[in-house]
Amino acid sequence: MKPIISSFFALSLLSSLATSSLSAHAHQCHFPAIFNFGDSNSDTGGLSAAFGQAGPPHGASFFGLPAGRYCDGRLVIDFIAESLGLPYLSPFLDSVGSNFSHGANFATAGSPIRALNTTLRQSGFSPFSLDVQLVQFYNFHNRSQTVRSRGGIYTTMLPEADSFSQALYTFDIGQNDLTAGYFANKTVEQVGTEVPELISQFKKAVTNVYKQGGRYFWIHNTGPIGCLAYVIEWFPIKASDFDPHGCASPLNHLAQRFNHALKQAVIELRASLPKAAITYVDVYSVKYELFVHAQGHGFKRSLVSCCGHGGKYNYNRNIGCGKKVIVKGKEMYIGKPCDEPDKAVVWDGVHFTQAANKFIFDKIATRLSMACHRQ
């Protein structure tokens, strides 16, 4: 028995040393920059720069004024930047006061993976689809180095050449492709048949960034859209379609179908991109947990919007958060924020509050220490 015990001890020691080594190595991850692609879940001002500022009370809980975010404060991408010791990402589309030395944000609210044959005014969806964001990144990559070579202030405002291969590339997109189908009166089944094409285009986007030198990818799946007022209110859904927590099950099942395909795509990308470290981040589960057990996590409002007007969910698509009217010659808000935004999960029927974003980040943050390692 003694040799067996000795062998077991040796194996245990080796396993312990390997684990310790891996743990120590994990803390060596360092990202000098972040390049983000996505929609309103990570838009730090792109749509505002292109089509007009998201007005008050957006930004009221942290920035003290509108800051380009459809939220009362910070987004998950802001907390990611903070945790990495980096400044908040400047939107690529914003030419005023932007500093791109630590990355750039190509996300805009309403962006889909696949370009939609419509305008922002017609549908509410952004023309800056993922393929357009990739073109912007390609141009930024090349032109930033040409301009930086001029020296002077440009060296402090634009990223170093090595930053592109060492940066973290974050993706949070896909939600608008699913909801756009509903808003076009398609059935769950019809929208579901479009998922393979969406995933194919997403894979091409990641591959193109890899060809540009990107090596570290952080990919969020899409959240439980069936728990968001703007989706629930849009269509008459049978009572039997709601789960015990008030979320529309068919819509959440569609999101899960997308996520299953996205996770499989990540596995395939890991195999086809040998030098890439790709982290698949399950934000769906974290967000759904927040809706289901909101009070247990210190929140008072889950499905009901903090900022809005009327209806079961304090949401009206015609009277958005911050909407003003003139009453007896006086300007007043009718899309007003709630008294305690930090106790609400949903900000405006579409987006999460800063408090909810912080909760989501806290649940996924530990994986950042491993994001520079292949899985």
Residues serving a catalytic function are 40, 348, 351
Q: Tell me which residue has tokens 């000795």.
A: 6
Residue type, 306: C
The Cα 254–Cα 198 span in angstroms is 13
The Cα 195–Cα 262 span in angstroms is 9
Read off the tokens for 9: 């001890």
The Cα 174–Cα 182 span in angstroms is 14
Measured distance between the N- and C-terminal CA atoms of the chain, rounded to whole angstroms:
37
Residues 162-172: b if buried by 16+ CB within 10 A, e if exposed: ebbebbbbbbb
Q: What is the 3-state secondary structure (H, E, C) of the chain?
A: CHHHHHHHHHHHHHHHHHHHHHHHHHCCCCCCCEEEEECCCCCCCHHHHHHCCCCCCCCCCCCCCCCCCCCCCCCHHHHHHHHCCCCCCCECCCCCCCCCCCEEECCCCCCCCCCCCCCHHHHCCCCCCHHHHHHHHHHHHHHHHHHHCCCCCHHHHCCCCCHHHHCEEEEECCHHHHHHHHHCCCCHHHHHCCHHHHHHHHHHHHHHHHHCCCCEEEEECCCCHHHCHHHHCCCCCCHHHECCCCCEHHHHHHHHHHHHHHHHHHHHHHHHCCCCEEEEECHHHHHHHHHHCCHHHCCCECCCCCCECCCCCCCCCCCCCCCEEEECCEEEECCECCCCHHHECECCCCCECHHHHHHHHHHHHHHHHHCCCCC
